[in-house]
Amino acid sequence: MTELELRDLRKTYRSRGRPSVDAVRGLDLALRSGELLGLLGPSGCGKSTTLRMIAGLETVTGGDILVGGASVIERPAQRRNIGVAFENYALYPPLTVAENLAFGLKARKRSARGDVSRKVAEIAERVDLTALLDARPAGLSSGQKQRVSLARALIREPDVLLLDEPLSHLDAAQRDTTRRELKRIQKDLGHTTILVTHDQEEALSLADRIVVMKDGVIQQLGTPYEIYDSPANLFVADFVGEPAISLLPGVATDDGHARLSDAARIALPMPVAAGREVVVGIRPEDLRLTSDDGIAARVTAHEPLLESGIATLALDGVDTPLVVLTEPEVRLAHDEHVRVAADVRLTHVFDAETGDSLR
Ligand SMILES: Nc1ncnc2c1ncn2[C@@H]1O[C@H](COP(=O)(O)OP(=O)(O)OP(=O)(O)O)[C@@H](O)[C@H]1O
């Protein structure tokens, strides 16, 4: 069963004296029951607007939102049964954790007092908050506040769960643990979930599928592997991956190469008509330094890190730098001459004009 569906969903902001903004331009999406979908994109691409329209906190300019097959756009937020955990927690400071959780429940329907405390205890157990039920928000860490915010969204047993940048205020260590907990809780309880984030690592590690958005338009929908291994266009290739993919402009030759400059050529993974302007994309981990074959390059920077190093190379006559992951023991000097080879099967090729993948 499809639990949540967006059909040609649109939002235009109009304010007097200012040009209108098409924040969301015809979104079509169907989430399977229990699926966690990551909505990923840069600031201003329309993620929050989409989330707010689903939650009923923003009016819809066009299109439809269906939960369990029924349209909800005519329903006010409190009648949609959609749980939202906001980035800024939105907890009530004078109330204890238990009271904050109970508030979420009472706001929606009159529940018997015993029922409320049972539900609070149950959900606190689920998200590991039992020991903190009497604490107030001011005394909690960011990770704990995040869990209260999540618990408050979950306590209403929503049909759909919306998570807005759930890990953005956490430090690196908390982020790792909270991410794992979030995944466990979401899979345990089986909520159909949309997670909004601009952090690709968050999306890649948590989501069953990812939607990459730009300027209110879906660029690609796929599993984390599909998005990473087969980016649909230059934007997705560039946005997903850290360190970023190197994108090198070139011209296809009649012997199956892309000419990047007079001195630098690279084998193309598939036939492209000679003379066609392309952009060759190579991820840092798909390149290796070699002693004999490959292209001649000069080292412009090398950061030797614990697990692997990051080298930035200049190719003769090519303006775009090439970023390569190096083995942990490798040390490279500035201006050192090296040779570098790409794994042809993992090289991406895009149409220089449209930006679309040619695979
Ligand atoms: N209330 C509003 N009035 C006018 N324009 C708005 C309003 N809210 C958002 N916008 C505009 O709509 C576009 C999408 O904004 P939105 O907040 O949905 O993006 P976002 O991807 O969530 O960004 P961020 O990650 O920074 O929150 C932006 O151009 C933004 O300036």
Predicted-complex ipTM score: 0.97
C-alpha count within 13 angstroms, C-beta hemisphere, residue 234: 14
Ligand 1, from 13, 51, 197: best to mutate by most atoms within 8 Å of Cβ?
13
Looking at residues 71-76, what average pLDDT do you find?
Answer: 96
What stretch of H or E contains 218? strand 217-222
Domain CATH number, residue 41: 3.40.50.300
Residue 359 confidence (pLDDT):
80
Q: Kindly report, residue by residue over 131-148, the tens digit of the pLDDT.
A: 999 999 999 988 888 889
pLDDT at position 40 is 96
Give CA–CA dist 107/103, Å, rounded: 6
In a domain, 356, yes or no: no
Burial class for 15, CB neighbours closer than 10 Å (0-12, 13-18, 19+): exposed
Q: Which two tokens stand for residue 159?
A: 């049909």
Give the model's pLDDT for residue 281: 97
DSSP 8-state code for residue 245: P
Ligand 1 atom closest to 45 (CA): 21
pLDDT, tens digit, 9 for 90 and up, residues 42-70: 999 999 999 999 999 999 999 999 999 99
Atom of ligand 1 nearest to the CA of 50: 18
Measure 141 CA to ligand 1 centroid, in angstroms. 29
Pick from 219, 238, 257: which residue ends a domain? 238
Residue 108 predicted with pLDDT over 60: no
Q: Give strand pairing partners of 281.
A: 247, 348
Asked if residue 276 has its Cβ within 6 Å of ligand 1, the reply is no
User: Residue 357 domain-assigned?
Assistant: no
Beta bridge partner(s), residue 212: 40, 220
The CATH number for 287's domain is 2.40.50.140
Closest to 82 in 3D by CA, of 179, 5, 186, 154: 154
Q: Is the CB of 23 under 6 A from ligand 1?
A: yes
Q: Is the CB of 47 under 6 A from ligand 1?
A: yes
Taking residues 170-174, what's their average pLDDT?
79
Helix (H), strand (E) at residue 187: helix 172-189
Closest Cα to atom 1, ligand 1: which residue?
13
Look up the pTM and report it. 0.91
Identity (one letter) of the amino acid at 57? L
Q: How many domains does the chain have?
A: 2
Residue keyed to tokens 């759909």? 160
What is the number of the ligand 1 atom nearest to the C-alpha of 49?
18
Judgement on whether residues 39 and 152 belong to the same structural domain of the protein: yes
Note the residue count of the chain: 359
Question: What's CA 75's distance to the chain center, in Å?
Answer: 29
Tell me the pairing of strands 82-85 and 160-164. parallel
Distance CA 302, CA 290 (A): 16
In this prediction, residue 315 has a pLDDT band, given cuts at 50, 70 and 90, of very high
* C-alpha 43 to ligand 1 mean position (Å): 8
> ∠205-210-215 over CA atoms, to 5°?
125
pLDDT of residue 1: 46
Per-residue pLDDT, 111? 62
Residue-averaged pLDDT of the chain: 92
Q: Do 7 and 147 sit in the same domain of this protein?
A: yes
Domain range enclosing 327: 244-351
> Which atom of ligand 1 lies nearest, measured to the CA of 196?
22
pLDDT at 184: 87
Which residue's CA is the closest to the ligand 1 atom numbered 5? Answer: 13
Whether 226 is in a domain gets the answer: yes
pLDDT cut 90: percent of the chain above it: 70
Same domain? 283 vs 232: no
